[in-house]
Amino acid sequence: MMIDEPPAPRTSLGKRILTYAATLVVAAVAIYGLSEFLTPIQRPKQGDCANVTGFSNEPNFDAVSCLSSSANYVVTGTVAKSASCANANADMITRRGPEIRICLVPLWAQGECYPSTSPRMELEAVDCASGNDVFRVTAVSRDVPAPSCAAGEEAFAHPEVRLTYCTATP
């Protein structure tokens, strides 16, 4: 005598599709996460430009073309995290990959005024009459050697990236 077993319950087509879709989403997220984690950070090279934003204690670095209007810093070099940057106006430490210190020089515009100190990395030009803590960029030179600054102006030379600024109090 044969015993009839009840047929196995069938999963609905909708549940199967939902299960497959969820599995694909989880796999895609896992693959993306692994590729981001395993992709080595490209160490910026001297002369590379960047758009650096955020606060100086936690800046965001995005490599951009030096011809881009968003370029606001140029890399003068990189050093070990524990070292200090020589002849740089700013620096930042990477948080992914090998921890290095990126040495930066701002890309100021001739004729514009900037605050002497700011907690933000963005280089926002300000009204020259906005206060005592402001300087005007009187000259920008890519020549080597750079021409001399006028009397009463201060020179900021960065020969490693062929950039010299003359600044004065407005």
- The per-residue pLDDT for range 106-162, each reduced to its tens digit, is 999 999 999 998 889 999 999 998 878 999 999 999 987 888 999 999 999 999 999
In this prediction, residue 51 has a pLDDT band, given cuts at 50, 70 and 90, of very high
Let me know: does 38 contact 69? Beta carbons within 8 Å. Answer: no
Residue-level pLDDT at 77 = 92
Q: 99 lies in a domain?
A: yes
Domain assignment present for 30: no
Q: Rounded distance, CA 114 to CA 111, Å?
A: 10
Q: Whole-model pTM? A: 0.71
Domain membership flag for residue 44: no
Considering its fold, how many domains does the chain have in total? 1
| Domain of residue 127, residue span | 49-168
Handedness of CA 31, 34, 38, 41 (dihedral sign): positive
- 39 inside domain: no
CA 97, 98, 101, 104 torsion: positive or negative?
Answer: negative
28 domain-assigned: no
CA 51, 53, 56: angle at the middle one, nearest 5?
125
> Which pair of tokens denotes residue 86?
């020589």
Domain for residue 120, yes or no? yes
The pLDDT assigned to 34 comes to: 56
Let me know if residue 162 belongs to a domain. yes
For residue 24, is it within any domain? no
